[in-house]
Structure 1
């Protein structure tokens, strides 16, 4: 019987282009559900893909403080997040959250007369 050797999956090895990095961060933002540490970890993955030393220099942070901030074990300050996003060559943007229309809410909550027959 042969042994199967496994290695730990590292997403940073698969983030090669700015577009892949942006798509990864976008997906993590959607999955995070308000978990700032999760977002910090995602930024850490992207920073490792780009090179932590270079990102730290570009963000004006020490390498050690960058590792700590993006470890996913804590939530870094918003100023740190903004510096890192800029150093990664990414942009932060906002869009309106999609809210269900009142008609759709009524239909889903028994407001539809046909559904009550």
Structure 2
């Protein structure tokens, strides 16, 4: 291999297949409910973003339970999640608690069948 020093043999063995990335279409009821809550709370339309991280349990929920997962967090980009200098604003705790309550209320407005669409 071109990255191994001469006289060194490099073998890469994959022991696990990893977890597939998780994403939801903007038309999914979870996304629509989250957008409605965030727009109501902050007065502007939220932006649907994809992050580079994966959360393996989302694939397990989808495979074993047949349900999708929404990532609905209140950390901000400058808080350096999982870094040595990570922090979380105390004000986000109240915003998140209120947001989750509003999200559950908003989700209750969708018929169960809306969540079973591919």
TM bracket (short chain): under 0.3
Say which structure, 1 or 2, has more relative contact order (CA 8 Å, 6+ apart): 2
Larger radius of gyration: 1
